[in-house]
Amino acid sequence: MAKEFDVCVIGTGPGGYVAAIRAAQLGFKTAVVEKRHLGGVCLNIGCIPTKALLRSAEVFESISHASDYGIDVKDFSVNFEGMIKRSRNVANKMSKGVQFLMKANKIEVLEGTGVFKSSDELSIQDEDGKEQETVKAEHFIIATGARPRQLPDLEIDGEMIIDSEKAMQLEKQPEKMVIIGAGAIGVEFAYFYNTIGTEVTLVELMETLVPVEDQDVGKELGKIYKKKGIEVLTESSVEKVEKKGKGVKVTIKTKDGNKEVEADVVLSAVGVTGNIENIGLDKAGVETEKGSVKVDKETYQTSADGIYAIGDVIGAPWLAHKASHEGVVLAEMLAGESPIPVNYNNIPGCTYCEPQVASVGYTEKQAKEEGYDVKVGKFPFSASGKATGLGHEEGFVKVIFDEKYGEWLGCHMIGSHVTELIAEAVVARDLETTGHEIISAVHPHPTMSEAVMEAVAEAYGEGVHLGSKPKKK
């Protein structure tokens, strides 16, 4: 006999487990189905463990530059195995935290792969595809996430050609690495491995690194990475990868002609695709498109009654915080409440390389393409007393406003720990705050956050720290 629930969530990543907890809080009898680890990719093999690795790289980099701060440090070196071990310990701790939350909220955890038998019944199967039990629910939520996308002619073997999961759990630090793709995953691993001594070549098809970001940010990151010793090849593509002994030979097509690079491993970091296969979506009547589950973005309803989908499996932006927010909104809608819908134009993006990258809203190019006349302000961290004192003068804050009505269209940052600063712009945009309100709000000194106010002041011709000429009002 099938177990019956009000809500059954398939997948326990940041979207799935949050949706389940909120549903349970609202009085639903709730279950989650997980085939691997509670917490999904983010907590186990994504966001959290990579941030732990990046922190190890930051500490090593700080020690390497200790003399700049008047501190003499001798006899230090990279303990690669120790870094990997710490990263895994952090991930395991967070996964256990989700286990606690499931118990605390009386959510039943069903281990196995959820496969739809119909639109109202789910089969829970083991690794061999054998059915363990079945589940019926009034509401099913698909939150199966996404996985690294593979290039057609580049088969990932887990040894010489790897994906991001393997890159954070290598047994031995490679001497040379080629990274294909300079999105968030690519630039984060480029920073980590370069910092601890691996020779890194970073290949990107587009004109700048982090191509979804404002072009000024991508250009700045490219300059900084080149100074760090990373070989940055933009407007380039990998044409061929040949296994050669214990390494690989990579042929790269650049704007200046073909280039051959030898490496120990190639990391493919060219994006993700939704986990929509082998879960019975066809039997449930759930439509898909371009590797994602098709949903109504206001209700998260799929083409099948009673089945919803959230998070990475419904497509871009592939962000944990977006998935969590969707989970909360959906659970509240199922309970008959009227939550504020997700504003997809006000979701911040954060990249945790060093310097970090953070943004929200339109890029300058996008704003102009939308027909806005814009006011643009930029404030470099080299003019910030706090950044200078910290020894992190690289980067800037850039803001974009609509000249006519003063709407804050976009905010783009590159600098040390700017992922902690972007929330000011997110909240301000949500509250429809004007530029002058930001300028008049007293920001503490000395802080990195002052750069936000200073950039806004520059946009309106009121900046005092760059020697800029006042703009005509």
The answer to whether residue 412 is catalytic is: no
The per-residue DSSP string of 72-84 comes to ---S----HHHHH
SS3 state at 342: coil
SS3 state at 384: coil
Query: What are the counts of helices (DSSP H) followed by strands (DSSP E) for the chain?
Result: 14, 24
Q: Which two tokens stand for residue 465?
A: 């720290």
The per-residue DSSP string of 231-274 comes to EEE-S-EEEEEEEETTEEEEEEEETTEEEEEEESEEEE-S-EEE
Exactly one of 139, 392, 417, 445 is catalytic; which is it? 445
Q: Give the Cα separation of 237 and 234 in Å (integer).
A: 8
Q: Which two tokens stand for residue 453?
A: 């106010």
SS3 state at 470: coil
In terms of Cβ atoms closer than 10 Å to its own Cβ (0-12, 13-18, 19+), residue 152 is exposed
The per-residue DSSP string of 146-184 comes to EEEPPPTT----SSSEE-HHHHTS-SS--SEEEEE--SH
Q: Is the dihedral of CA 114, 115, 116, 121 positive or negative?
A: negative
Query: Smallest Cα–Cα separation from 129: which of 280, 282, 313, 284?
Result: 280
Is the bond preceding 348 in cis, omega lying within 30 degrees of 0? no
Question: Which residues form the catalytic set?
Answer: 445
